[in-house]
Amino acid sequence: MIRAERLNDIVHYLRRMHQAVTAETLAKTFEVSPRTIYRDIQSLIDTGVPINGEAGVGYVIDKHYHLPPIMFDADEIEAIALGIGMVSNWTDQAFANKAQSAFKKIQATLPPLLLHELHQISTFSEPSHYKIPWEVSFTEVRECIRRKHKIQFNYLDLQDRTTQRTIWPLALVSFSPVWLLAGWCELRQTFRNFRLDRISGFETLKQSFPNERDKNLKAYLAQVEHD
């Protein structure tokens, strides 16, 4: 890693931390010596980055500090392009349009060298006939998750039995080629996963759901990890 990249990454790292970070921790993270970290921190301070602290105690950064435009390396650009291609091919048109819009904004900030690298990308995501179609609006589901609106729908299980469910939607999870809607099911009083392609009669309810500790996304992810 060249020094300019490391300095930028140190700033990002400190912004993510909620407590002071020692030079030794930074040295291990960036695989350099503590002495190098001391010099890097001083260089950042000299250029106006609001880092407070001292050697042996730890460093913190003012969270109100605004970073300059983010720069990417060639591999990061390729990863972003691949991710945007996958969004375009495996979600819906509205979300694909947002992904393409974001990528155009990123391209507009790239220097000529990285634009050249972008045109040399050799990792792609293409449309697939294995994609399983669904009737529900992918974008509407995302909005319900974001706005914490309850939803109601008919669900056809793998035994071809249909039940009506009221769900607190928490996340959309891709198990290609299947998309799952994860949420708290009022009928079963537990977390459940629902295949989008088996949902019909989808309805967004006016009622919102609270962020209860045992029914939120964090609790869902903890259960998945435990299982």
What is the domain partition of the chain in residue ranges? Answer: 3-61, 74-119, 138-226
Residue 74 pLDDT level (bands cut at 50, 70, 90)? confident
The per-residue b/e assignment along 43-57, b for 16 or more CB within 10 angstroms, e otherwise, is: ebeeeebebebeeee
Q: How confident is the model at residue 11 (pLDDT cuts 50, 70, 90)?
A: confident
Confidence of residue 68 (pLDDT cuts 50, 70, 90): low
Residue bearing the bigger pLDDT, 8 or 156: 156
Percent of the chain at pLDDT exceeding 90: 57
Bigger pLDDT: 104 vs 137: 137
Instruction: For the chain, give the percent of residues with pLDDT over 70.
Output: 96
**CATH topology classification for 3-61:** Arc Repressor Mutant, subunit A (1.10.10)
Architecture of domain 138-226: Roll (2.30)
Pair of tokens at residue 212? 């209860």
pLDDT of residue 107: 81
Mean pLDDT of 98-108: 85
Which pLDDT value is given to residue 16? 85
pLDDT tens digits, residue range 112-139?
777 777 777 778 887 777 888 899 999 9
Give the C-alpha separation, 109 to 98, whole Å. 17
pTM of the full structure: 0.66
Q: Which pLDDT score, from 0 to 100, does residue 210 have?
A: 94
Place 37 in a pLDDT band, splitting at 50, 70 and 90: very high
Q: Do domains 3-61 and 138-226 have the same CATH topology?
A: no
Among candidate residues 132, 164, 134, the one with its CA nearest the CA of residue 151: 164
Residue 56, pLDDT > 80, answer no
Q: Is 105 left (phi over 0), alpha (psi -120 to 50) or beta?
A: alpha
Q: What is the DSSP string of 158-187?
A: TTS-EEEEEEEEEEEEEETTEEEEEEEETT
**Residue-level pLDDT at 69:** 59
Tokens matching residue 13: 């790292």
Q: How many CB atoms lie within 10 A of CB 223?
A: 12
Tell me how far apart the alpha carbons of residues 18 and 104 are, in angstroms, rounded to a whole number: 33
C-alpha–C-alpha distance, residues 19 and 113, integer Å: 37
Query: Which pLDDT does position 143 carry in this prediction?
Result: 95
The HSE-up count of residue 45 (CA atoms within 13 Å, CB side) is: 13
pLDDT at 18: 83
